[in-house]
Amino acid sequence: MPLQVREYSWQQTDRAVYLSLPLPGVRPGTADIFCTENYLKVNFSPFIFEVFLSAPIDDINSKAKVGDGAILFTLYKKTAATWETLSMANVDKETMQRIREESILRAQEKAKEMSEAKASAKREDQRYALQVMMKIEDEERKKIEDLKENERKKANEELEAWKEQQRNAEKQKELQRKEKLRQQKQQREEERKQQREKIKTCPSESTKTKNLSRKAGSSRNIFSEKSKEDRVPAPRSVGNIKIHFTPRVFPTALRESRVAEEEEWLHKQAEARRATNADIPEMSDLKEEEKNPEWLREKGNKLFATENYLAAINAYNLAIQLNKEIPTSYLNRAACHLKLKNLHKAIEDSSKALELLTPPVADNARARAKAHVRRGTAFCQLELYVEGFVAVSI
């Protein structure tokens, strides 16, 4: 059974009420205080204190200070006035119960409002934090884009500088060539001048030489005429002259071709065509034409023309599995990877095709050019412009 506290003291001003409630043994955090506009309750086991205030107070700004053995309340009045008594006079039980219930309801409503306000404030804080994070991310993204742009500009500047260096080197070579031609021309002119001066200084010797040449020529003519009169040519015999031409696989002239490199290329192609794949177990259920790498390559070309790049890659994969020495299969698969933005694979296939297209001869020049262009395109799409330019210009 709780003990009702009856003894307390209070003072007032026009704006506030000061209430002192003695509670033996009370310390901060041990008492349960409940306060509304018209109701004040303190629960400190086994003591209980409640008062039904005669006028409303500002329960939000009112204060309670818990000391050693007492609680001091500072209750601010809603309207400036002097109270005759602290509590309401002649309050029956029904009124007391009604005030308690209304106080509890108001307290619950205030708690709900405070909770909603706190939740709203939390949402605002989260929204603000999200805005701050988005701003930071935008700044970071912009910083990264600026770095990429600076790197791109730097690469372009290096590329332009390299081009300018190449142009200057070409100009320097051209100037050296012209200077060399001028010196050679000047040297020839000096030689001619020296010969003319020599002829002028020795006219008798040149005349003697001319006379001797005339005499020798006349003597040769006399003997030749005599020999013609003495000798009658025999009639020619009829016959056929057989001409054997050296077989040429490449259309270039022999003086312009590198025979050893071309023979090496032909040998590699013959070895690739002779490669057999009948012992591949997973392809035993294929048709006869599907075991032909050339047929598969043509099939892949048709699929590429219809923009079915994945199916074309499958055809080229099977052709490469059947014969790994045909560079065209790697070259065409690199084109498919470029269309599908598989840039690293496009670079690998182009490099493999260039490895197989050796030595560089006239017959594989076009295929090598395609491999260089596709590898350079992949480098440029990866924003590696210097490597792309080098790959294309090789």
pLDDT in tens, 44-89: 788 888 888 878 888 888 888 887 788 888 989 888 888 888 787 7
Give the type of residue at 393: S
Phi and psi torsions of 47, nearest 5°:
-95, 150
Mean pLDDT of 27-35: 82
Mean pLDDT of 351-373: 88
Q: Which residues pair with 76 in a beta bridge?
A: 16
Tokens 């003519």, residue located:
221
Looking at residue 386, its pLDDT comes to 75
Q: Which residues contact 170 (CB under 8 A, 6 or more apart)?
A: none
Q: What percent of the chain has pLDDT over 70?
A: 80
Better-scored residue on pLDDT, 17 or 391 = 17
Query: Which strand (E) or helix (H) includes residue 72?
Result: strand 70-76
| Closest to 38 in 3D by CA, of 90, 107, 92, 94 | 107
* CATH 2.60.40.790 applies to domain 3-91: yes
Looking at residue 333, its pLDDT comes to 94
Cα angle vertex 373, ends 368, 377, to 5°? 150
Better-scored residue on pLDDT, 188 or 222 = 188
Averaged confidence pLDDT in the chain: 80
| Sign of CA pseudo-dihedral 364, 366, 368, 374 | negative
Q: What percent of the chain has pLDDT over 90?
A: 17
Tokens 């970071």, residue located:
140
Phi and psi torsions of 67, nearest 5°:
-115, -165
Mean pLDDT of 110-126: 88
Looking at residue 174, its pLDDT comes to 92
Beta-sheet strand order (sheet of 32-35): 3-4, 47-52, 39-44, 32-35
Q: Which residues pair with 41 in a beta bridge?
A: 34, 50
pLDDT level of residue 223 (50, 70, 90 thresholds):
very low
Mean pLDDT of 2-24: 84
pLDDT at residue 218 greater than cutoff 70: no
pLDDT at residue 207 greater than cutoff 70: no
Class of 288-393 in CATH: mainly alpha
- Highest mean pLDDT (candidates 99-103, 151-155, 263-267, 270-274): 151-155
Measure CA 118 to chain center.
Answer: 45
Tokens of 239: 């016959």
Looking at residue 58, its pLDDT comes to 85
In angstroms, the Cα distances linking 342 to 174, 347, 378 are: 43, 9, 9
Looking at residue 335, its pLDDT comes to 93
| Closest to 44 in 3D by CA, of 19, 64, 27 | 27
Assessment of whether the complete model's pTM goes beyond 0.75: no
- Reduce the DSSP state of residue 307 to 3 states and report it: coil
Looking at residue 175, its pLDDT comes to 92
